[in-house]
Amino acid sequence: MKTYLDCIPCFFRQALETARLAGAGPLIQRKVLMDLAAVLPDFSMKASPPEMARIVRNLVYKYTGRKDAYAALKRKSNELALRVYPRLKDRLKNSEDPLRTAVELAVAGNIIDYGAKNNIDVEAELTRILDNEESSIAVESRDLFDYKGFRECLARACKIVYLADNAGETVFDRALIEQIMEFDHLKEIVYVVKSQPAINDALYEDALTSGIDSIATIVDSGSDAPGTVLSLCSREFKQLFKTADMVISKGQGNFEALSGKAKREVFFLFMVKCPVIARDVGGQIGNIVLYRKAGKK
């Protein structure tokens, strides 16, 4: 996805948030915003929004010396997710279609991120989602939730690349991966994190804390943007991405970075969090999406 003009106000909002989380005072916060204003004209609108997030992170680092402004927030997210994990497993045990439920909950886990930015009581919201055994929480639309396609591809795939999104959500990913292994324990799953701090995106240690190492190989993509920006990725990752039987991409950031660039089929799992993405996929904010993007021939 390219950058839309509507993303620009958000860049400033994010820069301010990052600077504050890094402990910058008002003067430094202002400097970061003014530097962002200065580099904006040179930022190509063909680049994806996560590429700007990377520039913002580097600006904040320049002034504060802190590269991982979200460290505390990530730790909190991991703890919260681990706390609800047993309830998550219960919910799956009682589901008629545990794989589908695991997919939906893996996306719903994204509320940790969204909630943190919107002052929602995340634990209460997660409990509400986990206690709701009534029906599917995803949109009933083949275009926005192609579970059939996902299941068919999964049945055939041996090697699966799973692109992580945020810390905390990683615990929900673990539950989904466990479900996939239950579906077929011979799958080989490679779980991909970012190579350096990028907003609250999961790093190697977050995957480890979440217990992913017991069911998947953890690697990093080489991308230090909060999205899998292929041009920033390592040669090894790009090879892996190209040759895997199936790619599951979590989160809006990975969707932004990959949706216009990837030549292969990708299953994008994310919660729609802004009007630009809502328009792009034809959904609404808050939608739980499983979006299959066909590969280019």
Chosen residue from 1, 21, 33, 269 binding a second copy by CB under 8 A: 33
Q: How far is the CB of 29 from a second copy (least distance, A)?
A: 5
DSSP letters for 88-118: HHHHHHT-SSHHHHHHHHHHHTTHHHHHHHH
Total residues interacting with a second copy, rule: CB under 8 A:
18
Q: φ and ψ at 279, to 5 degrees? A: -65, -40
Does the protein bind a second copy through residue 117 (CB under 8 A)?
no
Q: In the chain, what is the straight-line distance between the N-terminal and C-terminal CA atoms, in Å?
A: 19
Does the protein bind a second copy through residue 46 (CB under 8 A)?
no
Does the protein bind a second copy through residue 41 (CB under 8 A)?
yes
For the beta carbon of residue 297, count every other beta carbon within 10 angstroms: 4
Q: φ and ψ at 152, to 5 degrees? A: -65, -45
Does the protein bind a second copy through residue 155 (CB under 8 A)?
no
Helix (H), strand (E) at residue 78: helix 71-93
Tokens of 72: 């505390």
Tokens of 30: 């202002």
Rounded CA separation 212/44 (Å): 36
Helix (H), strand (E) at residue 11: helix 7-21
Nearer to a second copy, 33 or 240 (CB): 33
State the DSSP code for 30.
Answer: H
| Binding span for a second copy by CB under 8 A among 30-38, 156-164, 197-205, 264-272 | 30-38
Nearer to a second copy, 29 or 252 (CB): 29
Does the protein bind a second copy through residue 82 (CB under 8 A)?
no
Chosen residue from 18, 29, 48, 252 binding a second copy by CB under 8 A: 29
Tell me, residue by residue from 7 to 26, as one string, x for binding to a second copy by CB under 8 A and - for no binding: -xxx-xx--x---------x
Whose structure tokens read 């690349």? Answer: 161
Nearer to a second copy, 42 or 140 (CB): 42
Q: How far is the CB of 92 from a second copy (least distance, A)?
A: 36
Q: How far is the CB of 34 from a second copy (least distance, A)?
A: 5
Q: Which spans of this chain sit near a second copy (rule: CB under 8 A)?
A: 5-6, 8-10, 12-13, 16, 26, 29-30, 33-34, 37-38, 40-41, 45
